[in-house]
Every structure is written in C-alpha cells, then in structure tokens.
Amino acid sequence: MNEPEPNPFNKAARLILGLIASGLVLIGGLDIVTEVLRWHIKGGGLGIFKIAINSLVILAGLGILATMGRLAEKLADYFDE
C-alpha cells in the first residue's frame, strides 16, 4: 500500500501558527489583566474599549488554534508549490 508522503512544511506551519495564536491569547490576556489592575489600583474609569479590543485579539488567537490543522495544510500546500 502506497501511502502519500507527508508534506514537510505541514509540521513547520503548525508550529508557526501555534506560536502566533498562543502569543495572541497570552498578550491579549495579560493586557486585560493589567488594565483591570490599573483600574483597581488607581481608580478612575475602566478602559472598556481596550478590554473589548483585547478580547477580540484573544478570540482571533483561539480561532487560529481551532482551525490550525486546515490552515497549516493550506499554508504548507502554498509553500510546496
């Protein structure tokens, strides 16, 4: 039985996408935490707009993590050609 040869770029694409997605989730989460801590310590207004933007960054990272397999295959196919 001849199995198709695995694409060598697929593993690298998964790694890069995973690192990017994890970074987005980490940076977005840390920025939300620092915004809430700043509000708690200094008082004043809570930056709702900043929290909303960082929530979208976290959702983008989670979306990349959820679709990482398909995105890696498409990216590997693109670089393979």
d(C-alpha 70, C-alpha 43), whole Å: 45
What predicted TM-score, i.e. pTM, was given to this entire model? 0.81
Domain positions in the chain are 27-80
Amino acid occupying residue 32: I
In tens digits, the chain (81 residues) has pLDDT values of: 566 667 778 888 889 999 999 999 999 999 999 999 998 898 878 888 999 999 999 999 999 999 988 888 888 778 776
Element (H, E) at 6: none
